[in-house]
Amino acid sequence: SGLLAVRQSIAAGVNITYKILYNDAVAMTGGQQIGERPEGHSVVQIAQSMRAEGAQRIVVVTDEPEKYASAKGLPDGVHVQHRDELDRIQREFREIKGTTVIIYDQTCATEKRRRRKRGTLVDPAVRVVINELVCEGCGDCGVQSNCISVEPLETDFGRKRQINQSTCNKDVSCVKGFCPSFVTVEGGSLRKKKAPALAAPGQHDDIPEPQIPDLATAHDGVWGLVVAGVGGTGVITIGQLLGVAAHMEGKGIVTQDAGGLAQKGGATWSHVLIGRTQDAIRTTRVGMACADLVIGCDPIVTAGKETSLRLRAGRSHVVMNSHSAPTAAFVKNANWANPGEACIAQIADTLQDPAALGCVDAEGIASQLLGDSIFTNPVMLGFAWQKGWIPLAQASLLRAMELNAVAVEKNHAAFQWGRRAAHDPAAVARALQPGQAVQFLRAPQERAASLDAFVQQRATFLTAYQNAAYARRYTDFVQRVCQAEQAANSGHAAQAADSGHAPQPTDAQALPLSFAVARYLFKLMAYKDEYEVARLHSDPAFGKKIGAMFEGDYQVHYHLAPPLLAKKNDKGELQKQKFSPRMAWGFKLLAPLKVLRGTALDPFARTEERRLERALIASYQATLASYLNNLGPSNAADALAFAKLPEQIRGFGHVKARHIAAVRGQWVGLGGNL
């Protein structure tokens, strides 16, 4: 169908570039490989068609250019380029008069994962891991990869990034993000987590069976279920399992899936209607306010209009996964806030009955007890069944999983863990063990409640970063800010004390400026130069994290852009390159040389980036000191706004320079010198 648009553009002499995506699958009808269909076109055939139509220039862009080395039939003048050249090609083509065509050849990510599981596609023995302590949270990795498997990780040192190993398609394009925090683990495999004793065969037999809903008492003899989640996680599979189980029991069944346009990570629904007889069912979807059960595999999709309109207080029940997957918005917005808790509150308000809502960390159970978040939805199914909200027998559901013939044992176990979570949540909480997503940062599990603890935590870090004197420079300045803020607030504090509502002297609400300075002066002072990156990568804590995640014979490779060695692209930006595991020895040798930091003997101190980082610290302290000289109601808001500006300065190299340029106007406007 798109060929007509290209043809008309060529005929009209339009200056336009068409980008044709060849994703190797007919995704909307089940993911058939194009090569298996008689009407399917190959990349070579598409290139021939574009040449026959009269396109001015044609290029094939792919992540595997080597597979075209022996390709026959590619028209003369049609070049094959690596996808890394896409931006350059697009810029070049926009200057060419007439219609040009870029054929982008890359297999659909969901299809890749599916084929790898089925053994029809080679599964590369490579995984990407982020060292959270090195990560600056700039989000350039998401910009470069446009991948939702790069997820936020909230830590005591701010928001970082992590790779969801369960959904990662091993594209490794996130490594292109200009950041030294990325390592690739080649060889070996993800460590299989051993299930605790509670998961042994027969250990779930003590769970009492619930009372199954009687369809005779259901509205019109039909039980309406909606499974709501995100594409690529098995939402539609749960709908099909329910359908097969109902069919085996001789009940009426209609299922309809609303997922045709949902990419991996997009909203997906499966509507399931179970009736006493087939004739009792008169629709193909659960109607408005007609859902007896919603299995909310993702809070955001469940609280959305499409799902929530199916709910009715007094009739509907909802099982909600308390873990909310980041949406695609996080790829473009580093400050994206996960609305998961708000979604749960919204559903609870709609149902108006606490007993009608069940929440469970199904993703945590699946990842930590079964080794893969892909089993989240069967956990949800088991939880809902144990609540007595599914009008089907357990034996039928388990048999449906057997007939599906995919990871049967794990799916059975997931279903039973869901039952256990509904019956005895305390037992599940005891069984859960720290998984790969648990932060390994050397920081307390609970965030520091007082300013003293908050500052001490960072002072300890700065001592390891440089020395005790450097840390004391930090603590002394924060103490100076705290004293000035307490003095400025003394009148208000005295008045509050008289009324019996005095704030705690080190409470974040009472000392917002002090907490802001404690957070962001630390961020500026702990800038990640070559010595710090070496220290953090050679830290035994990071090695233990890798060891806890992987087993077998594996090697860790590093992706860096040393300013003295790295090449630059046509934009003048340094380009990362891959370093062997021997770089670990280089890190161990470089890390102790932090004593040279900022001295005349520091070989890195003269680079523009390092000079600017030191200048930021000096300007930050000097500007705040000027505010402290006369801190009061007239300038407190400006002082706080300035204190928080470093939050916008993230990343490394040209990424950091871009962020600094963006904040420069505010910095100068609030009295800073930059």
Residue type (1 letter), 427: A
Residue type (1 letter), 249: E
Torsion of CA 342, 346, 351, 353, to 10 degrees: 50
Short-list 427, 269, 300, 425, CA closest to 360: 425
Looking at residue 434, its pLDDT comes to: 43
For the segment 470-490, the average pLDDT, to the nearest whole number, is 93
Out of 71-80, 106-115, 503-512, give the one with best mean pLDDT. Answer: 71-80
Looking at residue 244, its pLDDT comes to: 96
* Contact present, 581 and 557 (Cβ < 8 Å): yes
Looking at residue 197, its pLDDT comes to: 44
| pLDDT band at residue 503 using 50, 70 and 90 as cut-offs | very low
Statement: residue 372 has pLDDT above 90: no
Q: What gap in Å lies between CA 371 and CA 270, rounded to an integer?
A: 25
Q: What gap in Å lies between CA 129 and CA 391, rounded to an integer?
A: 43
Burial classification of residue 493, based on how many CB atoms lie within 10 Å of its CB (0-12 exposed, 13-18 middle, 19 or more buried): middle
> Burial code of 585-601, b = ≥16 C-beta within 10 A, e = fewer?
ebbeebbebbeebbeee
Looking at residue 614, its pLDDT comes to: 95
Residue 421's CB is within 10 A of a number of other CB atoms, namely 25
Share of the chain above pLDDT 90, in %: 61
Q: What are φ and ψ of residue 527, in 5° steps? A: -60, 145
Statement: residue 329 has pLDDT above 80: no
* Contact present, 50 and 6 (Cβ < 8 Å): yes
Statement: residue 17 has pLDDT above 80: yes
| pLDDT band at residue 56 using 50, 70 and 90 as cut-offs | very high
Q: What gap in Å lies between CA 341 and CA 332, rounded to an integer?
A: 22
CA Rg value for the chain:
29
Looking at residue 442, its pLDDT comes to: 33
* H/E element, 489: helix 468-498
- Which has more confidence, 490 or 438? 490
Q: What gap in Å lies between CA 310 and CA 224, rounded to an integer?
A: 9
Q: What are φ and ψ of residue 26, in 5° steps? A: -95, 85
- Report the relative pairing of strands 222-230 and 267-275 from DSSP bridges: antiparallel
DSSP class of residue 209? P
Looking at residue 438, its pLDDT comes to: 34
Short-list 416, 383, 384, 422, CA closest to 398: 416
* Contact present, 629 and 537 (Cβ < 8 Å): no
Looking at residue 335, its pLDDT comes to: 75
| pLDDT band at residue 435 using 50, 70 and 90 as cut-offs | very low
Q: What are φ and ψ of residue 58, in 5° steps? A: -135, 135
Looking at residue 445, its pLDDT comes to: 34
Which residues have C-beta within 8 Å of that of residue 538, sequence separation ≥ 6?
A: 584, 587, 588, 591
Looking at residue 443, its pLDDT comes to: 33
DSSP class of residue 644? T
Out of 144-153, 159-168, 273-282, 361-370, give the one with best mean pLDDT. Answer: 273-282
* H/E element, 416: helix 408-423
- In this prediction the pTM is 0.75
- Report the relative pairing of strands 267-275 and 252-258 from DSSP bridges: antiparallel
Weakest-pLDDT range from 148-152, 193-197, 202-206: 193-197
Q: Alpha carbon of 39 to those of 28, 36, 45, 65: distances in Å? A: 16, 9, 11, 25
Q: Alpha carbon of 436 to those of 17, 133, 530: distances in Å? A: 43, 15, 27
> Hunting for tokens 């599979």 — which residue is that?
237
For the segment 361-385, the average pLDDT, to the nearest whole number, is 90
Looking at residue 202, its pLDDT comes to: 62
- Which has more confidence, 196 or 667? 667
Statement: residue 204 has pLDDT above 80: no
Please count the CA atoms within 13 angstroms of the CA of 671 that sit on its side-chain side: 16
pLDDT in tens, 552-585: 999 999 999 988 788 888 888 899 999 999 999 9
Statement: residue 93 has pLDDT above 60: yes
CA geometry: angle 606, 562, 576, nearest 5 deg: 140
SS (H, E, C) 641-658: HHHCHHHHCCCCHHHHHH
Alpha carbon of residue 582 to chain centroid: 30
Q: What gap in Å lies between CA 336 and CA 263, rounded to an integer?
A: 20
| pLDDT band at residue 421 using 50, 70 and 90 as cut-offs | very high
Looking at residue 439, its pLDDT comes to: 33
Q: What gap in Å lies between CA 542 and CA 90, rounded to an integer?
A: 40
Weakest-pLDDT range from 91-95, 173-177, 232-236, 601-605: 232-236
Q: What gap in Å lies between CA 352 and CA 515, rounded to an integer?
A: 39
Q: Average pLDDT of the chain?
A: 87
Statement: residue 165 has pLDDT above 80: yes
* H/E element, 455: helix 451-465
Residue type (1 letter), 620: Y
pLDDT in tens, 112-125: 877 887 787 888 88
- Report the relative pairing of strands 252-258 and 150-155 from DSSP bridges: unpaired
Q: Alpha carbon of 261 to those of 32, 39, 257: distances in Å? A: 15, 22, 11
